Structure 1
């Protein structure tokens, strides 16, 4: 994965919301036709990118999204989920233990995108250099 792009009718408003949620400002902004059309944040251990694109330029979106959820790594899923709800997100899927070392939850951001949060022990093991590869 390199970049996740969400869409919003008001990119400036979405950029402010995500800056508050993430605790960082976008590093890139692009205007088109005199209005903010795209912003991008760099996040996490590998500076992955989260882009927010003006919905007018996002192309057609099916009535249902097909179940795709991008999960962001967090240390405490319940805390992250409650924080997102407290900042105006609405529930999508509540905190759920998926198995040992894997806990997920997801919300709808105020712009209609699904935002997932996850504690993933495998991710932490890979980050620590433990690939789990028996060879």
Structure 2
């Protein structure tokens, strides 16, 4: 039934500002851009990770419902090889801790932050991810 993540959608008031922030974080440029009827950037998309997952940033005006007053909801965790270095970089770029680094069991460590645009980003070192990728 569910085959894999097709697109991860994040929302921002200023898509150009979010695009610059994510370009700095990811080290790659967005490959797709779309403007809205008013000429403002409405959507940008990156391809990232081992499976070239789509990461889209959408103008918050097009969110399916009004934004909640606080960050929350489902958290998608991205595998990272060095969790502490990733958290350091996220903090350097202005992300704020949402959930502290937490040991979940042998080979599984998670943490999450909120980006400057109010989105929660989960990061984890996940041994199972590495095992599946290597197999």
TM-score (norm 2): 0.91
Distance in 1, matches of 2:72 and 2:20, equals: 28
Q: 75-84 vs 111-120, which deviates more? A: 75-84
1:10 aligns with 2:8: no
Q: Hey, what does 1:48 align to over in structure 2?
A: 53
Q: Hey, what does 1:28 align to over in structure 2?
A: 32
Q: Hey, what does 1:120 align to over in structure 2?
A: 126
Distance in 2, matches of 1:66 and 1:87, equals: 20
SS for the counterpart of 1:75 is: coil
Residue 19 of structure 1: which of 23, 26, 51 is its match? 23
**Is there any run of 5+ residues in structure 2 with no aligned partner, and where?**
none
Kindly indicate whether the alpha-carbon contact (under 8 Å) linking 2:25 and 2:90 is maintained by their aligned counterparts in 1: yes
Give 1:62 deviation, angstroms: 5.9
Q: Hey, what does 2:85 align to over in structure 1?
A: 79
Q: Hey, what does 1:60 align to over in structure 2?
A: 65
**Is there any run of 5+ residues in structure 1 with no aligned partner, and where?**
130-135
Distance in 1, matches of 2:46 and 2:134, equals: 24
Q: Hey, what does 2:102 align to over in structure 1?
A: 96
1:110 aligns with 2:127: no
Distance in 1, matches of 2:25 and 2:71, equals: 23
SS for the counterpart of 1:85 is: helix
Give 1:61 deviation, angstroms: 3.9
What's the CA shift string for 1:6-55, capped at 9, x where partnerless? 00000000000000000000010000121100000000111101000000
Change (3 A) 1:104 1:39: same
